[in-house]
Structure 1
Amino acid sequence: MSIVAAHGLQKGYGNHIVLRSADLIMEPGERVGVVGLNGAGKSTLGKLLAGVETPDGGTIARRRGARIEYLEQVPQLDTSMTAEQLVMQGLTAWSDAVARHTEASSALADPNADHERLLEDQSRAADEVERLGGWDQSHRVHAVLNNLGISQRDVPVKSFSGGELRRVALARLLVSRPDLAILDEPTNHLDAETVEWLEQHLIEEFPGAVLLITHDRYLLDNVAQRTVEVADGEAFSYDGGYERYLEQKAERLSLAARTEQNRQNFLRREIEWLRRMPKARTTKQQARIDRAESAIAAPKPKQEQKVSLELDVSRAGKTLLELRDASVEIPGRTLIEKLTLFVVQGDRIGIVGPNGAGKTTLFRAILGDHPLASGTVNVGKNTKVAYFDQKRSGLDDSKSIWDNVTGDQSRIELGGEVIDPRSYLERFAFDSHKQRQPVGSLSGGERARVALARLLRQSANLVLFDEPTNDLDVATLGAVESMLVDFGVTALIVTHDRYFLDRVATSILAFEGDGQVIHYPGNYDTFRRLRAEAREARKAAAKAAPVAAAAPAAASQRPGSKKKALSNAEERELSSLPDKIDRAEQLAASITTKMGDPATYAGGGDIAALNRELAAARAEADKLTARWEELEAKKSAAT
Structure 2
Amino acid sequence: MPPPASLVALDHAHLVAGTQVLLDDVSIGISDGDRIGVVGRNGGGKSSLLGVVVGTRPLDGGRVIRTGNVTIGMLGQVDALDPGASVGRVVLGDLAEHEWAGSARVREILTGLLGDTDASAVGGWDAPVGPMSGGERRRLALAALLVSDPDLLVLDEPTNHLDVEGVAWLATYLSTRRPRAGSALLVVTHDRWFLDAVSTRTWEVADGEVHAYDGGYAAYVLARVERQRVAQVTEERRANLARKELAWLRRGAPARTSKPRFRIEAATALIEGEPPPRDSVELVRFATTRLGKDVLDLVDATVTVGDRTLLEDVTWRLGPGDRYGIVGVNGAGKSTLLRVLQGQHPLAAGRLKTGKTVRMACLSQELRELDRVRDWTVIDAITEVRSFTTIGGKEVSASSLAQRLGFTGGRQQSRVGDLSGGERRRLQFVRLLMDEPNVLLLDEPTNDLDIDTLTSMEDVLDGWAGTLLVVSHDRYLLERMTDRQVALLGDGTLRDLPGGVEEYLELRKRRPVSRAGVASGSAAGPAAPAGGSAPAAGGTAYTPAQVREARKTLARVERTLDKLHAEEARVHAQMVDAATDPARLAELTEKLREITEQEEALELEWLEASEAAEG
Match of 1:146 in 2: 114
1:55-66 superposed matches below 5 A: 55-66=59-70
Distance 1:398 1:353 in 2: 34
Identify the match of residue 58 of structure 2 among 28, 35, 54.
54
Aligned-partner residue type, residue 349 of structure 2: S
Match of 1:424 in 2: 401
How much has 1:147 moved relative to structure 2? 4.7
Match of 2:274 in 1: none
Q: Does 1:414 align with 2:398?
A: no
Match of 2:305 in 1: 330
Aligned-partner residue type, residue 457 of structure 1: M
Distance 1:436 1:10 in 2: 30
Q: Assess if the C-alpha contact under 8 Å between 1:82 and 1:155 holds in 2.
A: yes
Identify the match of residue 474 of structure 1 among 441, 451, 454.
451
Q: Which contiguous aligned blocks of 4+ residues in structure 1 show a shift greater than 6 angstroms?
A: 300-303, 305-314, 532-536
Going from structure 1 to structure 2, the CA distance change for 1:509 and 1:438 (only over 3 Å counts) comes to: same
Match of 1:187 in 2: 159
Q: Assess if the C-alpha contact under 8 Å between 1:521 and 1:527 holds in 2.
A: no
Identify the match of residue 294 of structure 2 among 296, 312, 319.
319
1:606-617 superposed matches below 5 A: 607=533, 611=535
1:368 partner SS: coil
2:488 partner SS: strand
Distance 1:401 1:15 in 2: 24
1:476 partner SS: helix
Going from structure 1 to structure 2, the CA distance change for 1:408 and 1:197 (only over 3 Å counts) comes to: closer
Identify the match of residue 387 of structure 1 among 362, 367, 374.
362
1:158 partner SS: coil
Distance 1:427 1:511 in 2: 34
1:552-567 superposed matches below 5 A: none
Identify the match of residue 33 of structure 1 among 24, 32, 37.
37
Q: Assess if the C-alpha contact under 8 Å between 2:319 and 2:467 holds in 1.
A: yes
Match of 2:344 in 1: 369
How much has 1:227 moved relative to structure 2? 0.6
CA-to-partner distance for each residue in 1:28-77, whole Å, 9 max, x for gaps? 23100111122221112112211222222332122243222221122222
Match of 1:344 in 2: 319
Q: Assess if the C-alpha contact under 8 Å between 1:83 and 1:156 holds in 2.
A: yes
Aligned-partner residue type, residue 32 of structure 1: I
Match of 1:81 in 2: 85
Going from structure 1 to structure 2, the CA distance change for 1:69 and 1:535 (only over 3 Å counts) comes to: closer
2:50 partner SS: helix
**Which range is displaced more, 402-411 or 376-385?**
402-411
TM-score (norm 1): 0.66
Identify the match of residue 458 of structure 1 among 415, 418, 435.
435
1:487 partner SS: coil
Aligned-partner residue type, residue 356 of structure 1: G
Q: Does 1:72 align with 2:76?
A: yes
1:460 partner SS: coil
Identify the match of residue 4 of structure 1 among 2, 8, 14.
8
Aligned-partner residue type, residue 33 of structure 2: G
How much has 1:195 moved relative to structure 2? 0.8
How much has 1:495 moved relative to structure 2? 0.8
Distance 1:59 1:177 in 2: 26
Going from structure 1 to structure 2, the CA distance change for 1:27 and 1:444 (only over 3 Å counts) comes to: farther
How much has 1:306 moved relative to structure 2? 8.2
How much has 1:401 moved relative to structure 2? 8.2
Going from structure 1 to structure 2, the CA distance change for 1:398 and 1:81 (only over 3 Å counts) comes to: farther
Q: Does 1:247 align with 2:222?
A: yes
Distance 1:341 1:302 in 2: 42
Aligned-partner residue type, residue 413 of structure 1: F
Q: Does 1:178 align with 2:153?
A: no
1:396 partner SS: helix
Aligned-partner residue type, residue 169 of structure 2: W
Going from structure 1 to structure 2, the CA distance change for 1:414 and 1:181 (only over 3 Å counts) comes to: same
Distance 1:142 1:35 in 2: 29
Q: Assess if the C-alpha contact under 8 Å between 2:10 and 2:27 holds in 1.
A: yes
Q: Assess if the C-alpha contact under 8 Å between 1:406 and 1:412 holds in 2.
A: no
Going from structure 1 to structure 2, the CA distance change for 1:478 and 1:422 (only over 3 Å counts) comes to: closer
Q: Does 1:220 align with 2:195?
A: yes
How much has 1:451 moved relative to structure 2? 2.5
How much has 1:475 moved relative to structure 2? 2.4
Q: Does 1:396 align with 2:367?
A: no
**Which range is displaced more, 79-88 or 240-249?**
79-88
Match of 1:15 in 2: 19
CA-to-partner distance for each residue in 1:163-206, whole Å, 9 max, x for gaps? 22222211111111111111111112111111110011102222
Going from structure 1 to structure 2, the CA distance change for 1:160 and 1:55 (only over 3 Å counts) comes to: same
How much has 1:144 moved relative to structure 2? 4.5
CA-to-partner distance for each residue in 1:471-494, whole Å, 9 max, x for gaps? 322222223333334434411111
| Count of matched residue pairs | 472
Distance 1:174 1:19 in 2: 29
Aligned-partner residue type, residue 132 of structure 2: F
Q: Does 1:518 align with 2:489?
A: no
Pair member with larger Rg: 1
**Identical aligned pairs, as a percentage?**
38
Distance 1:305 1:253 in 2: 7
Q: Assess if the C-alpha contact under 8 Å between 2:383 and 2:398 holds in 1.
A: no
Match of 2:565 in 1: none
How much has 1:160 moved relative to structure 2? 2.0
Distance 1:392 1:326 in 2: 30
**Which range is displaced more, 154-163 or 431-440?**
431-440
1:526-537 superposed matches below 5 A: 531=507
Distance 1:49 1:397 in 2: 40
